[in-house]
Structure 1
Amino acid sequence: MPDVIRLISMDSGVYSTKELHRGGLTTWQIRREVDIGSLVALRHGWYATPTADPDVVSAVRAGGVLGCVAALRKHGLWVPPGYRRVHIRPTRHGELTTRQACRTFGPTPRALAAVDPVPIALLSAARCMTAEHWIATCDSVLNTAGLSVAQLACEMGRPPKHILALMERCDRRSQSGTESITRTRLRANGFKVVVQPQIAGVGHVDLRVGRLLLECDSVTHHTSLENYHNDRRRDRRALVDGWLTMRITYDDVLYGWTGVLADIRAITRTDRHRTTPSALKTVE
């Protein structure tokens, strides 16, 4: 598996015997580390340090590995709220002590580490997440790793047709989960959405519907005074050039979407967004 798919250093503090051997420890040394408390035996063939990640420890003790949505979050990818439980993927040889297992598609993959790699975790997550949430997380994978949809599909092995269909709706240009969800929902409602267009005098914006510019802010987005002033300057310039700007917050997308969609429809019904400003000619 290429290094590009290993998005962050995933040292959870939980290791298989094979990993410890690769790290230079002999079987005798492993036993000694257990005896002195530097390692804790979780189950046959798996060990943890005293400061190991508790979610990963729970998953391995239960007979599997940390997978699905929980693994994606550990890899630093964008995951929407509502998926807080420990997601455990069964392994080929482990016997699960819980019924809350997250399975992938096809044959059960080998346990390469205590935390599933991104392609396996993403496949499993398709069973647990809604379609739009999965698309947003897949966008995060594509954007962070710099992969194309075809490259990611190859890393997954042979994803089923319905997963490939979801991947065709993904876009690695997306800069945030809220942007991904907004794009997906608007297109599902029949809007023609342009992703990350370059607007003269303004720069890149998240989304464009006609001459309506949509900026989808994350929870931590634009918290500094410098960013605040820069956003207002961009909005002012856009308005002068004939664009309309709508800023959508994280809470708007996840908890107030009905109102957001109603506002966008209200603007588009007046045809104000269809009037072509002179600046549009420079970006199309």
Structure 2
Amino acid sequence: MGDYGVHTRWELAELGYDRALLRRAITAGDLTPLRRDWYADRMCDEDVATAVHSGGVLGCVSALRLLGLWIPPGYTDLHIRRSKALRNSGAPGCRPLRGRPLPTSSAVDPAVYALACAARCMKAEDWIATCDSYLKLRRIDVEELRSDIAPFGGAGVDALLDKTDGRSQSGTESIARVRFRALGFKVVVQPAVDYRIYQGHADLRIGKLLLECDSARFHNQAKDRGNDYTRDRKALVGGWQSMRFAFHHVLHEWDEIVEDVRAYARDDRHRIRSRRAKEALARSRQIDAIGDY
């Protein structure tokens, strides 16, 4: 059946809609013609219907958002991939970096193809973060995505995929990781931490400095913040240091974050040299090795 309440004539025919029934459904307002052979029902997604009505399908960033992937702020435009027949009727629409365009046979582009198109429309770090979200959501590794996207990607996409990491738990973490590594920091992703009361993971680690990247989704409630305070306290006792920031800090105060991390690392305070820090690192590696968390 059609995607998100938008259907082709052939899909409706499979449901028993002959020409007479189709006309009655349109007259009753149960179906609305969008363009030739495409119809929207009463429960349709408005963005999908708009994309089809304008001569294409929902694609690129808009499709990825609809499919449940994390999209950074700032991408508010409707992204449409236009059908071949209508591509010259106005704006060209979104397209991948290479390869022949897929037929516009479904109202919403599949995720991999939408990712290929989004590589044109998104900033590199944002695209990497969205790929992290895809890897985590689909529970696949990057090599599977690399294989799937290869017909539409190219060398540029392949290089960006080298920077993805499906272990990332939030877009905040993904963007922070990409930026810190670009600055030359050696960043460990999702390091295991023995918090004494339980074992878990921090978001990122530079030496003995744990970087906690708080997303609004999981760190806004009082209970969540209380857990964060406990983690920071137990990590400190266990030989680590913690620095915590939210997405709005990454978005608006990044230079200050970098200066703080550099100031901490400038005197080698992040180095794992003390007995307690070495014990904490050994325990972290042990937990990762046995999967005991």
TM-score of the superposition, structure 2-length normalised?
0.88
Structure 1 residue 112: Cα displacement: 3.6
Please tell me whether residue 258 in structure 1 is matched to residue 251 in structure 2: no
Please tell me whether residue 53 in structure 1 is matched to residue 45 in structure 2: yes
Please tell me whether residue 214 in structure 1 is matched to residue 246 in structure 2: no
Work out whether residues 62 and 98 of structure 1, in 8 Å CA contact, stay in contact via their aligned partners in 2.
no
Root-mean-square deviation (CA), in Å? 1.9
Q: Aligned residue for 2:103? A: 110
Distance 1:228 1:75, change over 3 A: same
Structure 1 residue 282: Cα displacement: 1.6
Structure 1 residue 223: Cα displacement: 2.2
Structure 1 residue 234: Cα displacement: 1.0
Q: Measure the CA separation in 1 of the matches of 2:125 and 2:272.
A: 31
Q: Measure the CA separation in 2 of the matches of 1:243 and 1:185.
A: 22
**Bigger mean CA deviation after superposition, 40-49 or 15-24:** 15-24
Amino acid at match of 1:232: Y
The DSSP-based 3-state class of the residue aligned with 1:15 is strand
Please tell me whether residue 131 in structure 1 is matched to residue 128 in structure 2: no
**Bigger mean CA deviation after superposition, 240-249 or 20-29:** 20-29
Q: Give CA deviations for 1:176-220 in whole Å, capped at 9, x if unaligned.
A: 001000000000000111101111225211000000001101122
What are the ranges of 5 or more consecutive residues in structure 1 without an aligned counterpart? 1-8
Q: Aligned residue for 2:200? A: 203
Q: Measure the CA separation in 1 of the matches of 2:204 and 2:145.
A: 24
Q: Measure the CA separation in 1 of the matches of 2:15 and 2:271.
A: 62
Q: Give CA deviations for 1:137-169 in whole Å, capped at 9, x if unaligned.
A: 000000001011121223335121111111111
**Bigger mean CA deviation after superposition, 24-33 or 152-161:** 24-33
Q: Aligned residue for 2:11? A: 19
The DSSP-based 3-state class of the residue aligned with 1:123 is helix
Work out whether residues 62 and 96 of structure 1, in 8 Å CA contact, stay in contact via their aligned partners in 2.
no
Indicate the structure with greater helix content: 2
**Bigger mean CA deviation after superposition, 175-184 or 24-33:** 24-33
* Percent identical: 47
Q: Aligned residue for 1:173? A: 167
Amino acid at match of 2:12: L
Structure 1 residue 249: Cα displacement: 0.5
The DSSP-based 3-state class of the residue aligned with 2:102 is coil
Q: Aligned residue for 1:226? A: 223
Q: Aligned residue for 2:291? A: none
2:147 pairs with 145, 154, 160, which one?
154
Q: Aligned residue for 2:281? A: 280
Aligned length: 276
Distance 1:187 1:23, change over 3 A: farther
Structure 1 residue 109: Cα displacement: 0.5
Q: Measure the CA separation in 1 of the matches of 2:158 and 2:29.
A: 47
Amino acid at match of 2:83: T
Q: Aligned residue for 1:29? A: 21
2:133 pairs with 140, 152, 163, which one?
140
Q: Measure the CA separation in 2 of the matches of 1:228 and 1:204.
A: 16
What are the ranges of 5 or more consecutive residues in structure 2 without an aligned counterpart? 286-293
Work out whether residues 214 and 247 of structure 1, in 8 Å CA contact, stay in contact via their aligned partners in 2.
yes
Work out whether residues 64 and 96 of structure 1, in 8 Å CA contact, stay in contact via their aligned partners in 2.
no
Q: Measure the CA separation in 1 of the matches of 2:259 and 2:217.
A: 25
2:237 pairs with 232, 235, 240, which one?
240
The DSSP-based 3-state class of the residue aligned with 1:85 is coil
Work out whether residues 216 and 248 of structure 1, in 8 Å CA contact, stay in contact via their aligned partners in 2.
yes
Structure 1 residue 99: Cα displacement: 1.1
Amino acid at match of 1:282: R
**Bigger mean CA deviation after superposition, 96-105 or 244-253:** 96-105
Structure 1 residue 133: Cα displacement: 0.4
Q: Measure the CA separation in 2 of the matches of 1:133 and 1:77.
A: 12
The DSSP-based 3-state class of the residue aligned with 1:245 is strand
Please tell me whether residue 193 in structure 1 is matched to residue 190 in structure 2: no
